[in-house]
Amino acid sequence: MPSYAWLIVWLPLLGFVHNASAGYLYKSLATRKKAVSYVAPGVVLLAFAATLYVLTKEVLTSPDHRAIVSLIPGLSPETPWMSVGGFKASFGLLLDPLSMLMAMIVTGIGGLIHIYATGYMAEDREQPRFFTYFNLFIFMMLLLVLGSNFLLMFVGWEGVGSCSYLLISFWYTDSNNAKAGNKAFIVNRVGDLGFALGMMAIWSTFGTLSFFADHGAGVMQLAAKHVDVLGHPLAPIMITGICVCLFIGAMGKSAQIPLWVWLPDAMAGPTPVSALIHAATMVTAGVVMVTRCSWLFVQSPQALQLVGWIGIATAFVGATIGLVQNDIKRVLAFSTVSQLGYMFLACGVGNFTAGMFHVLTHACFKALLFLGSGAVIHSMLGEQDMRKMGGLRKLIPRTWAVMFVGTYAIAGFPGGAGFFSKDEILGAASGSPWGNGLLLYILGLLTAFMTAFYMNRLMHKTFYTDPRYTNGELHAHHHSNFTPEEEAELDGHGAAVATHHGHGEADHADHGIDTATDHGHGHAGGSVHESPPSMMFPLYVLAILSVVTGIVLGPTHIFEKFLEPSVAKMSLGPLSAGTPMFPETIGWIISAVVAIAGLAFASVIYTKVRVTGEALSENYKTKNAIFRFLMEKWYFDKVYNYVFITLGGKFADKVLWRYVDVKLVDGTFNSLAELVGSVSNSLRKLQTGYVRNYALAIMFGVVALLVGLLAQWNVLSGH
């Protein structure tokens, strides 16, 4: 039967082509933006529908719940994309529970973020360019999760990296945004080098880059056969080297220590970008890749330990930094870093399904929180500093309600999605197959306590404390590649633009919300206001998902059974699955107590400082070494700047350029050039242009030839 899986990938690509061509297809900017606002989310939601169809009709009904189909309709999945010598790679799509799960997250959550962005970016002049990148991002992520081989995955891997650069630095006229995009791109290149080396090692070891093959010659099948036939795992050094290289790639893409420093700066882009990167797409790519390669990782205890320790360290460090952040989006950014650490902790202790369960629940509540923070920022005319907020619960109750659900979900409050997925990870960590289970469990609980604390701190500083602004006199924060004056000039009707939109001042160019005209809730003189329906509808859906996914999938363990065909058993390697320290019910009770304690602790502290919203004085913050240490993000950026920019710059200048490049390389070749020039100048004098001189030279040549022949006469004559 023909497969329709290609539609999942092609639909966002067609949306990208349409949006990129909008300038040629539509004459007026208004028509262009309207068409794009329908096409961009429409193709993603259609891809979600195609994903559900393929899952039910093709995956769940196929043997082993696995099928390999062609990305190009009408071609065989075995049709080579490239074939050089013994190397072959195809345009194949791998359909199994893992790839379908990620396709549903990317298109489902991504589709909701697209709908939200139609309101958020409505008035930005470059809205078509924004959605061009947005659809391309979805296409590349789908290629990453659905590709049937490492090479096709790597194309998507690099594609989402490029799209993240374009979206983070979308408002590129602000140098800070441009720098943030560069930082994300450069740091990810470090991890990508590890991924590339891992692919080369896999090819040299297995002779293929396909994950699975119909004839059983895929990488994961060959890894399993090695154990079944020979009775022992692959060579430790070889398999550990492969896994470590792959994990370095995952560390870059999924922001793990030491390659995590790009993710907090990714907040420079528009809020829908933050939600798409942090919740539904790019940052989970590393977890997906490690899970996809579980057949390799379970055969290397050393690699599993590395993944586990890096994961718990990242979770802990990210949470400590989140405790002191003042920017509402940066709190959530460090929360993402921390939650990603939990996912890798699960993979490191061999419970890959627990890690993927947290990927799913995190996608729901983190998208909710980021989009909710965008609604808060929208209501405050672009303000992101929580020190300048407060009292918003009464002014924007709908936004407060969805943020409340998201906060309690990520905090691990009983009933929320995060409660079930996080507890499953903690239980797996307590029974770590390579030991140190108690330490991992304690660090995980401490991180969970800090998560509950800083998230409720965010809620208090934003919604519950007294207002630290004057409603009706809010100052707009302009974010655009054009100034208000330039936008008015481009529109061709000068200052009348602001009057036409009913803003009195160009106050919403930062988020592109034509609230007075399009959404019918103008706000005289910069007042706090709720977001339009196009922004609120996705928040309601995500709030429901942030509760339902945990309740439905957590206690029933349906998720583990669903994902089982896509994950290797620990018994394939030298380790066996560990047993949690506590029964599941006891683990739930401990997790609930820790979450409630963290939430309560924040409430007690910030209820006492309702007026200022600050638990610590500015003098204390300045003098306290621990607070400064956390505000400086454990000095990671400063150390990197000193080592790689200051010292690295000096080394590049004085050694690589002035000595190696100028003296050695240029000096050597310049000397050779001078020698050739000198010899040429000498030989050039022989070219006089006089026939008599050339005749004389010929005569000397003939004489020399005769003398040489006579000198060798005995040899030539055979005597």
Name the 3-class secondary structure at 241: helix
Cα distance between residue 424 and residue 419, in whole Å: 9
CA quadruple 156, 161, 164, 170: dihedral sign: negative
Could you identify the residue written with the tokens 């939430």? 599
Tell me: do 296 and 431 sit in the same domain.
Answer: yes
Cα distance between residue 375 and residue 363, in whole Å: 18
Residue 624 lies in a domain: no
Q: So what's the pLDDT on residue 212?
A: 93
Distances (CA, A) of 305 to 439, 444, 567, 593: 13, 16, 18, 29
In the chain, what is the greatest distance between 2 CA atoms, to the nearest angstrom? 119
Tell me: do 482 and 455 sit in the same domain.
Answer: no
Domain termination site, one of 510, 527, 544:
527
Tell me: do 558 and 650 sit in the same domain.
Answer: no
Categorize the per-residue pLDDT at 100 as very low, low, confident or very high, splitting at 50, 70 and 90: very high
Categorize the per-residue pLDDT at 85 as very low, low, confident or very high, splitting at 50, 70 and 90: confident
Q: So what's the pLDDT on residue 229?
A: 67
Tell me: do 379 and 489 sit in the same domain.
Answer: no
Q: Residue 675 above 80 pLDDT? A: yes
Cα distance between residue 474 and residue 391, in whole Å: 14
Cα distance between residue 346 and residue 355, in whole Å: 5
Structural domain of 258? 6-470+533-605
Tell me: do 512 and 596 sit in the same domain.
Answer: no
Q: Which residue has the higher pLDDT, 116 or 618?
A: 116
Cα distance between residue 364 and residue 544, in whole Å: 9
**Mean pLDDT, to the nearest integer, of 660-669?**
89
Q: Residue 449 above 80 pLDDT? A: yes
Q: Residue 565 above 80 pLDDT? A: yes
Q: Residue 523 above 70 pLDDT? A: no
Residue 458 lies in a domain: yes
Q: So what's the pLDDT on residue 470?
A: 86
Of the candidates 40, 53, 211, the residue with the CA atom closest to the CA atom of residue 138: 40
Residue 194 lies in a domain: yes
Q: What is the pLDDT of residues 24-69, one digit of tens each?
A: 888 888 899 999 999 999 999 999 999 999 999 999 988 889 999 9
Residue 210 lies in a domain: yes
Q: So what's the pLDDT on residue 502?
A: 33
Q: So what's the pLDDT on residue 524?
A: 38
Distances (CA, A) of 404 to 408, 410, 456, 457, 459: 6, 10, 9, 12, 8
Retrieve residue 589's tokens. Answer: 């009770």
Q: So what's the pLDDT on residue 515?
A: 34
Retrieve residue 277's tokens. Answer: 């990167």
Bond preceding residue 258 cis, omega within 30 of 0: yes
Residue 311 lies in a domain: yes
Cα distance between residue 205 and residue 151, in whole Å: 15
Categorize the per-residue pLDDT at 709 as very low, low, confident or very high, splitting at 50, 70 and 90: confident
Q: So what's the pLDDT on residue 234?
A: 79
Average model confidence (pLDDT) across the chain: 88
Of the candidates 44, 13, 30, the residue with the CA atom closest to the CA atom of residue 106: 44
Q: What is the pLDDT of residues 356-405, one digit of tens each?
A: 999 999 999 999 999 999 999 989 888 899 999 999 999 999 999 999 99
Q: So what's the pLDDT on residue 522?
A: 35
Name the 3-class secondary structure at 28: coil
Q: So what's the pLDDT on residue 98?
A: 96
**Mean pLDDT, to the nearest integer, of 685-712?**
84
Categorize the per-residue pLDDT at 518 as very low, low, confident or very high, splitting at 50, 70 and 90: very low
Cα distance between residue 298 and residue 320, in whole Å: 31
Tell me: do 261 and 395 sit in the same domain.
Answer: yes
Tell me: do 368 and 388 sit in the same domain.
Answer: yes
Residue 617 lies in a domain: no
Cα distance between residue 388 and residue 65, in whole Å: 53
Q: Residue 506 above 60 pLDDT? A: no
Q: So what's the pLDDT on residue 369?
A: 95
Q: So what's the pLDDT on residue 251?
A: 95
Categorize the per-residue pLDDT at 716 as very low, low, confident or very high, splitting at 50, 70 and 90: low
- Total domain count, the chain: 4
Q: So what's the pLDDT on residue 230?
A: 67
Tell me: do 275 and 401 sit in the same domain.
Answer: yes
Categorize the per-residue pLDDT at 715 as very low, low, confident or very high, splitting at 50, 70 and 90: low
Q: So what's the pLDDT on residue 719?
A: 58
**Mean pLDDT, to the nearest integer, of 612-632?**
89
Tell me: do 520 and 599 sit in the same domain.
Answer: no
Q: What is the pLDDT of residues 258-306, one digit of tens each?
A: 999 999 988 888 999 999 998 878 899 999 999 999 999 999 999 999 9
**Mean pLDDT, to the nearest integer, of 401-427?**
94
Categorize the per-residue pLDDT at 501 as very low, low, confident or very high, splitting at 50, 70 and 90: very low
**Mean pLDDT, to the nearest integer, of 601-627?**
90
Q: So what's the pLDDT on residue 516?
A: 31
Categorize the per-residue pLDDT at 717 as very low, low, confident or very high, splitting at 50, 70 and 90: low
Q: Residue 507 above 90 pLDDT? A: no
**Mean pLDDT, to the nearest integer, of 136-155?**
95
Q: What are phi and psi of 531, to 5 degrees?
A: -80, 160
Q: So what's the pLDDT on residue 708?
A: 84
Tell me: do 213 and 107 sit in the same domain.
Answer: yes
Tell me: do 427 and 545 sit in the same domain.
Answer: yes
Tell me: do 354 and 451 sit in the same domain.
Answer: yes
Q: So what's the pLDDT on residue 510?
A: 37
Categorize the per-residue pLDDT at 77 as very low, low, confident or very high, splitting at 50, 70 and 90: confident
Q: Which residue has the higher pLDDT, 127 or 481?
A: 127
Retrieve residue 258's tokens. Answer: 């030491």
Residue 610 lies in a domain: no
Residue 612 lies in a domain: no
Cα distance between residue 412 and residue 419, in whole Å: 4
Categorize the per-residue pLDDT at 621 as very low, low, confident or very high, splitting at 50, 70 and 90: confident
